[in-house]
Amino acid sequence: MMSRMEELLKQKKDIIAAIEAEYKKGLEAAAQGQAEAQYNLGVMYQHGQGVAQNYAEAARCYKLAATQGSAAAQLNLGIMHENGQGVTQDDAEALRWYKLGATQGHAPAEYHMGIMYHIGKGVKQDYHEADRCYRLAAAQGHSGANYSIGYMYENHLGVEKDNAEAARWYKLAAAQGHADAHVKLGAIYESGDGVKQDYAEAMRWYKFVAEKGNANAQYRIGVMYEQGEGVAEDYPGAVHWYKLAAAQGSPDAQSRMGFMYQNGKGVGRNYPEAMRWYKLAAAQGNPAALSNLGFMYHQGQGVEADDVQAVRWYTQAAKKGDASAAKNLESIEAVLAAQEVEKHKE
């Protein structure tokens, strides 16, 4: 009787043998010009399934299948050109392959084509064409396309701004498990822009994905706890959610963690810890963190007061549109200028 370890080893050998047999069969079929086999080989090379990962070989296999009309291969070849994997990075070439797939009604190709027109990649930006492509994919139930149409309505891109309509499309995407759609719905219900404001509904949408690790949703729940939106004001609760999001690199959450430590909200006041969090957020260009670092250097919170450093941080924040930083910068520069005048008098 085999031991458990021997059984596992046998299973592993059987799986490897099956993959090798499938690979051999695929090679033979691909050599005979079968598009499906060529496409499958491309997938194996692209993802390193049973073979060493090889983007150039994946692209070669996809091209063989794509030239025979495989829409899935046309999509993947487009993605490889867009990302420069195994081929020269070329957005126009990527769009060409997406279009070929889209003309066959391939929803993912229609969606990717929409993105290219949406952001003007490989083609002149065209929101109307992006919307058209998204709707073709959405008609086939593509969750990303449903989300993107919602985004177009929310941001007045190629369509009239309509948050109620945006919410409708976001709900379609959310029902398919699209995490960003949950966050967008939460934000719409939290703000009451286009729908009746409903904090409980906002929290419901946020929590669904926050509990699965979505950093944006975790951050928004932190804001709701900090501000007492639909829940009792709860600083420790806010810190809990901010910390989860901050640990995933959310600059907004890192900045709020800095603020909570700086002001002793939900945690003991701790200037060095506040500065640590602010610097993490500032490294990602967060305006509030940049401004608050300027304030801490100006006031000497956790560090020696240093107006030169304060000016440096305030300047970066002001360049990013932070009004309070611009005002504080003006005040400090006036003081420094006056000090220079006094020095020259001496």
pLDDT digits (tens, 9 = 90+) for 146-155: 999 999 999 9
The structure tokens listed for 261 are 């430590």
pLDDT at 29 over 60: no
Indicate whether 25 pLDDT > 80. no
284-298: pLDDT as tens digits: 999 999 999 999 999
Residue whose tokens read 């944006």: 216
DSSP state of 120: T
User: What's residue 211's pLDDT?
Assistant: 97
Per-residue pLDDT, 336: 79
Report CA torsion sign: 330, 332, 335, 340. negative
Q: Tell me, what's the pLDDT at 30?
A: 47
- pLDDT tens per residue across span 232-242: 999 999 999 99
Q: How far apart are CA 190 and CA 196, in angstroms?
A: 9
Q: According to the model, what pLDDT value does residue 225 have?
A: 99
The mean pLDDT value for 185-212 works out to 97
pLDDT in tens, 98-112: 999 999 999 999 999
What pLDDT is stored for residue 8 in this prediction? 60
Delineate the domains of the chain, giving CATH numbers in brackets: 22-140 (1.25.40.10)
DSSP type of residue 323: H
| pLDDT category of residue 335 using cuts at 50, 70 and 90 | confident
131 close to 108: Cβ distance less than 8 angstroms: no
What confidence score (pLDDT) does residue 206 get?
Answer: 98
The pair phi, psi for residue 27, each rounded to 5°, is: -60, -45
CA distance 259 to 239: 10
- Cα 285 to Cα 265, 288, 296, 320, 323: the distances in Å are 24, 9, 17, 8, 15
Confidence (pLDDT) at 47: 95
pLDDT score recorded for residue 23: 52
Question: Cα(260)–Cα(266) distance, rounded to whole angstroms?
Answer: 7
Could you read off the pLDDT of 263-277 as tens digits, one per residue? Answer: 999 999 999 999 999
Q: What are the structure tokens assigned to 323, written together?
A: 């009004």
Q: Is the pLDDT of residue 59 over 70?
A: yes
Rounded mean pLDDT, 177-185? 98
Kindly state the percentage of the chain with pLDDT values over 90: 85
Residue 339's pLDDT band (cuts 50, 70, 90) = confident
Question: Mean of the per-residue pLDDT values for the chain?
Answer: 92
pLDDT for res 167: 97
CB 70 within 8 A of CB 35: yes
Q: What is the pLDDT of residue 32?
A: 47
pLDDT band at residue 22, thresholds of 50, 70 and 90? Answer: low
| pLDDT at residue 181 tops 50 | yes
| Contact in structure between 171 and 184 (CB atoms under 8 Å) | no
